[in-house]
Structure 1
Amino acid sequence: MEPKELLEAAKRARSNAYTPYSNFRVGAALLTTDGRVFLGANIENSSYGATICAERSAFAGAVSSGARSFEAIAIAGAPGGQEPDAPCPPCGICRQFISEFCGPEFPIYLADGQDGVQRRCLGELLADAFGSDRMRVNHT
């Protein structure tokens, strides 16, 4: 799947966002290595910490369906009723969440104005990610 196609799916996913507090709708489209696409949308909560971002929503759906290998994610965000006109990169929590399943070269495609696509890699957005390799316990 081409990056623009994946980004169009992310833009469509925005329509499912639940954003009564910010009115900032984000959609994500996650491509698995076997060609499936999982969509996610942000879901706000009056207890802001309980809000779920579109990226984690897409990953949760994919992992819950048995997917464990991912090729790319596209993200589009903008105030409700508006087209994305600037990149909407994942927040810090989402970057860390993505790093649980994907390496530093994992491509992240962002809406960049009029039909533009900005390509970033997870490693650019999250240098020195905390991972399970840092949690190993030496039992000597």
Structure 2
Amino acid sequence: MEHNAQHDHPSGLSDEQIADLCQRAAVAAQHSYSPYSRFRVGAALLLDTGKIVTGTNVENASYRLTTCAEQSAIVTAVGQYGPGIKLRAVAVANLNDTASEPCGACRQTILEFGFPDTWVFFPTTRGVAGAAIGEILPIGFVFPR
């Protein structure tokens, strides 16, 4: 879904909040450790408390040990604010000016700490695409309780 600065955004966020979150994700991407792929990604989380937490991807020579920006930010948020955090929105940006949709593992992690209507934004210089995580991952894993 393409979004170009409309005040009636389905996420419930203002244009300014969306722009701020996307900008913070882009700044976080500048701190990426990605010597192998050179694909620098940053993520910014808006928690339901109004706090914003950022993270970046950290690669490893053993690719399986690489940490995605979204998971980096979520782990940081849990470390700072505890396991009860809830994500209101997420922005994922890279320095290649392409949309950065989360991988499957990150989609599941966003769902774990968010709600089906938690929005994920993918900014580029052409605009901001995005969708609710429930649309991006319509059948996520839920552990039976």
Q: CA deviation at 1:73?
A: 0.6
- Name the residue aligned to 1:14: 29
Q: CA deviation at 1:33?
A: 1.4
Query: Bigger shift: 41-50 or 98-107?
Result: 98-107
Identity of counterpart residues, as a percentage?
Answer: 39
State how far apart, in whole Å, the 1-side matches of 2:50 and 2:128 are: 20
Pick from 115, 137, 144: which aligns with 1:126? 137
**1:78-107 superposed Cα distances (whole Å, 9 cap, x missing partner):** 34xxxx2x2110001101111111121110
- Name the residue aligned to 2:87: 70
2:88 is paired with a residue whose SS is strand
State how far apart, in whole Å, the 2-side matches of 1:119 and 1:14 are: 18
TM-score normalized by structure 1? Answer: 0.86
For structure 2, the 5+ residue unaligned runs are 1-15
Amino acid in the other structure paired with 2:58: I
Query: Bigger shift: 101-110 or 18-27?
Result: 101-110
1:23 aligns with 2:38: yes
Aligned ranges for residues 1-140 of structure 1 at < 5 Å? 2-67=17-82, 68-79=85-96, 84=97, 86-114=98-126, 116-133=127-144, 136=145
Runs of 4+ that moved beyond 3 A = none
TM-score normalized by structure 2? Answer: 0.83
State how far apart, in whole Å, the 2-side matches of 1:103 and 1:36 are: 17
Aligned length: 128
1:129 is paired with a residue whose SS is coil
For structure 1, the 5+ residue unaligned runs are none
Q: CA deviation at 1:123?
A: 1.1
State how far apart, in whole Å, the 2-side matches of 1:66 and 1:78 are: 28
